[in-house]
Structure 1
Amino acid sequence: MAIYDLDRTITRAPTWTPFLLHAVLRHALWRLALLPVVLGAAALKGAGLIHRDRLKQVMHRAALGTLSPARAERLAAGWLVRFGPAQIRRKARAQIAADRAAGYRIVVATAAYRFYAEAIARDIAADALIATATAIDARGHLLPRIAGGNCYGPAKRAMIEAWLAAEGIDRAAAYVRVYSDHVSDVPSFDWADEAIAVNPHAALRRVAAKRGWRIVDWND
C-alpha cells in the first residue's frame, strides 16, 4: 500500500485557499465582504488563540456556507480544471504510476476536505481517499463544520488505521510506504514500513536525515 499526502506532496501548492478563492471569485463575489472575518481568525490562529480546526471552519463558513452535494461537486470539478494541470506534480504522477505497476494500492490521506479532494483523487486514479469530512444536515447538505476530526498529524494516522480496519486489512500482513512533505506526518511515517520525505520542509528534512528516511525531490 502506498499512502500519499496531498498538499505539497502530490500538489506543488496547498489546495484549500486556492479552492476557496475559485469558489468565491467565480461563483460568489459577495462573500469577499466576509474577508475581514477570515483575516481576523487567521490572526487569532497565528497568535495561538484558536486551533487550526477552528480557522478551517471559519474559512469554510465565510467562503462557501452550506453546500449541496451537487454544488460541491461542480465547484470541485471547475477548480480542478484550473488548478490541476499546473499544480499536480508530474513526478508525483510518475511515482503513483510506478507504485501501481508494482502492485501497490494507492491511497491519498489528507487534511483537505473530502468534498473537493475527491476531484484530485479521481484525477490520479487513487484507489481510496482518507480525508477530513464535513458534518451533514438532514437534507444531505455539507455544513461548515468538521465531522470526525481533522485528518492531520496523529489524527491522520488514527484515521488511516481505522480505514484499514474497516477494509478488513491486516496491518501486520501489509507493506506500507508513506509519502509526505511535512513534519506533521511523522506519526504516519513512524507507523509505516517505508517513509519517503517529498520535498520536505526544514523540520521534516532534519527528522528524515536523523532517522535515515529516504528524501526525494519532485520539483521539475
Structure 2
Amino acid sequence: MKTHLQRKSSIVQTVISGSFIVVVGAGAGFWVARAGAPSGTLISILKYATVLLGVVWAFSMIVYNKLSDLTELPGIDYKQHRGLESAIQLRLQWFWFRAGLLGIAGLVTNLPMFLQDGGITPGPRAFAVATGSLVLALFLLRRVWAELEDIRELRSEVKELERREQQRTNQIQSLKDGVAEWEPDSKLGGLGKKAETTNGSDDVK
C-alpha cells in the first residue's frame, strides 16, 4: 500500500513538474516570436531540433530492450523475478505511453512549418505550441536517463547477490574439501583400542 502511494505521488510530481516546464517553454517561444524574430529562422531551428525526438526515441528503445532482458539475469530468485516482472510491466506501459507522446510531439513541433507550407503565416501561438512540445520531448529524455540509471543500479544489486552466492558456495565447498582431507589421529585410535582392551579384561574377570 505504501509503495502504491509513493508511486502515485511520484507520478503526480512528474506530471506537475513536466507541465510547468512545458508552459515555460511555450511562453518562451511565444515571446521570441512576438518580439519579431524571423519566422523562417525559427522554423528551421524547430525542424532541426526534432532530431532530439529521434534521440529520445533511440534511448527509449535501449530502455525497452534492457527492461526485457532484466528477468533473464541468473542471479535472482523466483521472488525477485516476480517483483521484477510486475515492475517491468508497469515501466513498459509507460514506454508505450512515451512513444505515443513522442509521435505527437514530433508533429506538433513542426506545426509552424506545416502552416507555412500551406500558405498560412504562423503566429506566436503556433511557435508557442511548437516550443512547448519540444520542451516536452527534452523532459521525456530526462525521464529516460533516470530509467537507465535505475536499470544500472538494479544490475549492480543483482551482481552483488551473485558475488555473495558465489562466496557462500566457495565457503561450503572449502568445508567439504576439509572434511574429505581429514585423516584419523593415531593418538585417538590408541585411546579407542585401550578402552576396548579394558572392557575385555573386565568381562574375563
Q: Same fold (TM over 0.5)?
A: no
Q: In proportion to residue count, which structure has more strand?
A: 1
* TM-score normalized by the length of structure 1: 0.21
- With a CA cutoff of 8 Å and minimum separation of 6, indicate the structure with the bigger relative contact order: 2
Task: Report which of the two structures shows the higher radius of gyration computed on alpha carbons.
Answer: 2
